[in-house]
Amino acid sequence: MIGNNYKSQRDNTIDIANNYLAKTDENDGVDKSFLQQRVDALKNGKFLLSVAGEVKAGKSTFINALLGKEILPSDVLQATSAIVEIFKSDTSFLKVVYADDTIEELYDDLSTKDIDEAKEKLSQICRIEDKYRNIPHTLINNFIISNDKLDVTDELIENLEAVSGMNLQNEKQLIESYIAETPKSKIPVEINFGYPLNWNFEELRIVDSPGVNATGGVQDVSLKFLEKANAILFVHPIKPIESESFKNFVNKTISNKSSENLFLILTHKGLYEEDEVQRLLNEARRLYGGIIAEDRIIAVDSVLEQINNELKNQVPLKIIRENKVKKKILSSYREQAEDEERELVDVVNEAANFQQIYTTIDEYSMKAPQLQLKEILETIKAGYAEQDKLLSEKIDRLNLKKKSPQSFAREIERITEVLETFKLKIYEINLEANDVFGGNSNSEVVKNINSIVTNYLNKINAQQDDKSMKKLVIDFQNEVSSEVDKFSKNITSYFFEKLKELDISFKGTHNVTIPKIDLKAIEKFALKDSYEVEDVYESRKFDAWDWGTLGIARFFRENNVKVGTKEVFNNEKYLNNVKQQITSFLQKTKLDTITQTKNIVKDYLNNVASKVNKAINERQGELDIEKQKNLSNEKILETLDGLKKKHQTYPSIIKNIDEIIEEVTL
3 state SS for 157-183:
HHHHHHHHCCCCCCCHHHHHHHHHHCC
Q: What is the pLDDT of residue 529?
A: 58
602 exposure class (CB count in 10 Å sphere: 0-12, 13-18, 19+)? middle
Q: Is the pLDDT of residue 564 over 70?
A: no
Using the CB atoms, write b or e for 392-430: b if 16+ within 10 Å: eebbebbebbbeeeeebeebbeebbebbeebeebbeebb
Parallel, antiparallel or unpaired: strands 188-195 and 231-237:
unpaired
Asked whether the CA dihedral 233, 235, 240, 242 is positive or negative, the reply is negative
Q: Is the pLDDT of residue 553 over 80?
A: no
Planar angle of CA 79, 85, 90, nearest 5 degrees: 125
Cβ distance 238 to 266 under 8 Å? yes
d(CA 84, CA 529): 33
The reply to whether omega before 240 is within 30° of 0 (cis) is yes
* 3-state secondary structure at position 550: coil
Q: Is the pLDDT of residue 478 over 50?
A: yes
What is the arrangement of strands in the sheet containing 188-195, beginning at the earlier edge strand? 103-107, 93-98, 188-195, 84-88, 204-208, 47-53, 231-237, 262-267, 297-299
d(CA 207, CA 232): 9
Read off the pTM. 0.84
Confidence of residue 535 (pLDDT cuts 50, 70, 90): very low
Q: What is the pLDDT of residue 440?
A: 65
Mean predicted confidence (pLDDT) in 147-166? 81
Mean predicted confidence (pLDDT) in 488-511? 91
Q: What is the pLDDT of residue 351?
A: 95
Q: Is the pLDDT of residue 237 over 90?
A: yes
Asked whether the CA dihedral 414, 420, 423, 425 is positive or negative, the reply is negative
Q: What is the pLDDT of residue 530?
A: 58
d(CA 513, CA 504): 8
Q: What is the pLDDT of residue 567?
A: 46
Residue ranges covered by each domain of the chain? 418-616
d(CA 107, CA 615): 53
Q: Is the pLDDT of residue 104 over 90?
A: yes
The percentage of residues in the chain with a pLDDT greater than 90, rounded to a whole number, is: 46
Digit-coded pLDDT (tens) for 301-356: 999 999 999 999 899 999 999 999 899 999 889 999 999 999 999 999 999 999 99
Instruction: Give 129's contacts (C-beta < 8 A, 6+ positions apart).
Output: none
Q: What is the pLDDT of residue 77?
A: 40
d(CA 599, CA 587): 19
Mean predicted confidence (pLDDT) in 141-149? 80
The percentage of residues in the chain with a pLDDT greater than 70, rounded to a whole number, is: 89
Widest pairwise Cα distance in the chain: 102
Mean predicted confidence (pLDDT) in 119-127? 83
d(CA 337, CA 330): 11
Task: Choose from 249-263, 439-453, 523-537 the range with maximum mean pLDDT.
Answer: 249-263
Q: Running DSSP on this structure, what letter comes out for residue 555?
A: G
Digit-coded pLDDT (tens) for 591-649: 888 888 888 888 999 999 999 999 999 999 999 999 888 888 889 999 999 999 999 99
Q: Is the pLDDT of residue 551 over 60?
A: no
Cβ distance 191 to 73 under 8 Å? no
> Which of 227, 306, 285, 235 lies closest to 265 in space, CA to CA?
235
Q: Is the pLDDT of residue 218 over 50?
A: no
Mean pLDDT, all residues of the chain: 85
Mean predicted confidence (pLDDT) in 176-197? 89
Which has more confidence, 553 or 65?
Answer: 65
Mean predicted confidence (pLDDT) in 499-523? 89
